[in-house]
Chains A and B, each alone.
Chain A
Amino acid sequence: MITQSLSELSAALAKRELSAVEATQACLDQIAATDDKVGAFLRVDARGALDAAKASDARSTRLGPLDGVPVALKDMILTAGVETTAGSQMLSGFVPPHDATVTARLKAAGAVILGKTNLDEFAMGSSTESSALKKTHNPYALDRTPGGSSGGSAAAVAARQCFGSLGTDTGGSIRQPAALCNVVGLKPTWGRVSRSGVVAFASSLDQVGPFGRTVRDAALLLQGIAGRDPHDATSADVAVPDFTAALESGVQGLKVGLPREYFVEGMDPEIAAAIRESAKTLEAAGAQVKEISLPHTRHALAVYYVIAPAEASSNLARYDGVRFGHRTEGAKQLLELYQRSRAEGFGPEVKRRIMLGTFALSAGYHDAYYVKAQRVRTLIRRDFEEAFRDVDVILSAASPTCAWPLGEKLDDPLAMYLMDVLTLPCNLAGLPGLSVPTAKSSKGLPIGAQFLGRPFDEVTILRAARALERERDLCTWSPNP
């Protein structure tokens, strides 16, 4: 049963061929059997999940395609009554009083929340290794990283521990682990999904999105969480289309852009080849592929590593040991309370980014760093606007390399930051992007293709990704952890 996709499970539940309790129990069994090796979950709420499954089975009318479907949430997403840590000692023991809007929407759709998945601390990282709580392994190669920061959510879906999951993506944290774990990961347009109740990393870049084993699965999950939320003033008042309606309509006449700046130096040649091959596949299916240019791409990494840490330094100021989270023992002075609580509660990557961001915003440097970065951000956004006059979607790799051995880049933050180089321009421009499995490397590692679309045009990138998925059929490639 666990090898089924979310869509297949949903159809089976609808026909009462199996029950939500059976599906949930199968996931719990798979977690029990595999998670000591994968390490995807920080917390499994077996009782809560089974209760939700029973309630689903008891409903005479199904609430929709997610009713009774077991899913997992990245531990950035608040769950009422269930500890939410952001992978940090700072929030160890923090039990939120409310659900995030996305949690509440999934529950309202009848979904079964299995538990919380591992992540880089406060979503800062590209390998899930900066988690203060545990290591997560790539189900397709256990000695390698699942990517990050939503590594737990990607690995859980890949390891058939759940039928779908949610992650957050600030610079590629959904798409890159999706690529490394052979699953589909979608970062919606900024504003498409509510951020209310999601621990903030960099507010102008953060967005919640789904992982699925198939494009359709991701579309169904997005359907469940998208739309204006009165609790998030930046959630867009834009109509939510049916994300699955056009999935199978193919790519005849679709204009696909291949940006030359996205074939970067140091990129794994196998990946570059896989993307060119993907372009050919789409062409064969009727798409028009053309090379395009996004000239400011080379500045994106620098811009991102000013803006994201700047916002992070602000968003993480609330963790001061006063009202919740870690508080140091025996501090005598206020300043000492702050300094020691924060020194003890945050890990090295988080501290590095808080310091970077504080510096970038400080008097005398603010204009040279933060203001200038915002100007260049505008140029990057304009690159995309320009490109989308000519093409409907942009195709590239989601990660310059395949999954690398755990520990390899841990002492080299810059090498780690480079792993986001293909995904973060999309966040800077607020666009939707997704990663879909497109190849298996010679070493047997997953390779993902990234599609970027116009603002609020998730429908088109889902359709393009589905066209590629149909030709590749990698979703049946199951790992064996």
Chain B
Amino acid sequence: MALSDFQPVIGLEVHAQLLTRSKLFSSAGVAFGAAPNTHTTPVCLGFPGAMPVLNEKVVELAVRAGLALECRINERSEWSRKHYFYPDSPKGYQITQYEFPICEWGGITLEVAGKRVQIRRIHIEEDAGKSVHDAVAGLTLVDLNRVGTPLLEIVSEPDLRSADEAVEYLKILRDVLVSVGVNDGNLEEGSFRCDANVSIMKKGAKEYGTRCELKNLNSFRNIKLAIDAEIARHVEVIEGGGVIVQETRLFDVARGETRSMRSKEDAHDYRYFPEPDLPPLLVSAEQLAQGKASLPELPQARRRRYVEQLKLTEYDAGVLTADRELSELYERCLAPVGDAKKVANWFIGEVSRLLNESGVKPGDVKFTPAQFAALLHAIESGEISQNAGKEVFASMFASGAEPKDVIASKGLAQVSDTGALEKVIDEILAANPKNVEGYRAGNTKLLGFFVGAVMKSMKGKGNPKLINELLEKKLEP
């Protein structure tokens, strides 16, 4: 048997940090990279008598995320305590949602396979602190800045069948969360974290195999590598006559393999029970309506609209909608122009190039949609050439200058005066009698030579369209 005889089965748990200014249950600020233990209150520190008070902004963001992921939003959900002893968990328990999460049964549709991956639940919970091992030799230091940072845990059904599907699911999920403004999508800083449950079964089998949970997956690349490595390990173990043991495994990036972290026997008994310090979480009809109203067009829907209504290619639509700000700038620039394909070409070409080079965000560009439209009009009307247009745009991009001012100051306007053009053409024809003869004898390819010669003589400022027309007329036998 080989890998092709097996069917991998994958489910994902994503922890996404919510974009709030303060923590889930305390007024302490949320900050990445601050000096250790400077963003804490007695609530974060688990001091005696300190009680959690819900940050309402979190509910707003969770509702919006749930709606964007097509979930049912539960009118009433409940907080629970999850117990374990660890120095970065000051209370000895984490406040999370267990039996009754805020969102249930949504999903994401994969573009490639066109299949629906179900989201079983989304719940809100507080993040733990960080234990720093051996920063000082022989000591573990504890930084509680991150304690109580609000997280969404988004749990998929085991509907994914390959590492590629898993990565695609995660990319779409991240796009959605970023585009509705609940998460910054940063895997490296850990604000979008993923655990993968991986198992394999024989093709055609009905029952899933034993699963292992993979942790420490901090990039899309590592997620793919880790899942593929784990699938390969399962195949090898089973083919060797062994059995997979349910356990939590860590991906070792350097070795490209997973290794055991803790077995099921070591698994904690979390002793969940409802949090008596918090009333049940109620989502009102009004909050739900506000959530719906606040929902922007999601990246996938926007991409479909670009293909179906604007008649862009899948590729163009994909590039333009990958970044919410870019697509918004595109639409603002498209409005006064109207030609979706032409504007898309500019965006995929010059606009993207200059954005990348300068590091400017699409929302912060200096040029206005009106200036952009004026530039395209100048090219369309023949006032400037396509190439001159790129030069004008670079100036507009850098300084926000008006295109007509750039054209004037740089002398980029094309010569469209028929008289002036005819004068140059006559000189060129007179200087090249053999080629004139050749053309008239049927070698029409020589037209390019004449155009080039005229342009050269005019230092590139001749209107190529007019030059062509005039040349063709004059060269008629």
Contact = CB atoms under 8 A, between A and B. Distances in A.
A100 B87 contact: no
B81 interface: yes
A433 interface: no
A82 to B, nearest CB: 14
B49 interface: yes
Interface stretch (B51-59, B226-234, B403-411): B51-59
Contacts of A196: 49-51
B93 A317 contact: yes
A417 interface: no
Contact of A78 (B48, B52, B269): B48
Contacts of B29: none
Contact of B276 (A97, A204, A361): A204
Contacts of B42: 97-98
A323 B92 contact: no
Contacts, number: 96
Nearest to A339: B85
B93 A314 contact: yes
Interface stretch (A230-238, A252-260, A445-453, A457-465): A230-238
Given A196-B49, A231-B53, A318-B48, A203 B277 contact: yes
A124 B54 CA distance: 29
A84 B48 contact: yes
A216 interface: no
Contacts of B208: none
A228 B192 CA distance: 37
A397 B52 CA distance: 36
B47 interface: yes
Interface residues of A, number: 41
A318 B46 contact: yes
Contacts of B142: 322
Contacts of A199: 48-49
A96 B52 contact: no
Contact-residue bracket for chain B: 20 to 34
B85 A314 contact: no
Contact of A324 (B47, B51, B273): B47
A195 B85 contact: no
B120 interface: no
A358 B51 CA distance: 21
A334 B272 CA distance: 23
A233 B269 contact: no
A361 B271 contact: yes
A318 B92 contact: yes
A232 B50 CA distance: 9
Contacts of B271: 313-314, 358, 361-363, 366
Contacts of A200: 48-49, 277
A91 interface: yes
Interface string A294-327: 0000000000000000110110011010111000
A78 B49 contact: yes
Given A317-B91, A322-B142, A232 B48 contact: no
Most buried by A among B54, B87, B92, B279: B92
B90 interface: yes
Contacts of A84: 48
Contact of B85 (A197, A234, A338, A361): A338
Contacts of A338: 85
Contacts of A363: 269, 271
Given A98-B42, A317-B85, A233 B278 contact: yes
Contacts of B48: 78, 84, 86, 91, 94, 96, 199-200, 318
B47 A96 contact: yes
Interface string A317-347: 1101011100000000010001000000000
A218 B51 CA distance: 26
A232 B42 CA distance: 14
Contacts of B278: 233-234
A98 B140 CA distance: 28
Interface in A24-83: 78
Contact of B45 (A323, A361, A362, A366): A323
B83 interface: yes
A434 interface: no
Interface string A349-372: 000000000100111001000100
A317 B45 CA distance: 13
Interface of A: 78, 84, 86, 91, 94, 96-98, 100, 195-200, 202-204, 230-234, 310-311, 313-314, 317-318, 320, 322-324, 334, 338, 358, 361-363, 366, 370
28 contacts: A78-B48, A78-B49, A96-B47, A195-B51, A200-B48, A200-B49, A200-B277, A204-B276, A232-B51, A233-B278, A233-B279, A234-B51, A234-B276, A234-B277, A234-B279, A311-B273, A314-B92, A314-B273, A317-B83, A318-B91, A320-B87, A320-B92, A324-B47, A334-B140, A358-B271, A361-B83, A361-B272, A363-B269
Interface of B: 42, 45-54, 81, 83, 85, 87, 90-93, 140, 142, 269, 271-273, 276-279
Given A233-B279, A234-B278, 14 more contacts: A96-B48, A195-B49, A198-B49, A200-B49, A200-B277, A202-B276, A233-B51, A311-B276, A317-B83, A317-B93, A318-B48, A322-B142, A323-B45, A358-B271
Ranked 3 nearest A-B pairs via Cβ: A317-B92, A203-B276, A204-B276
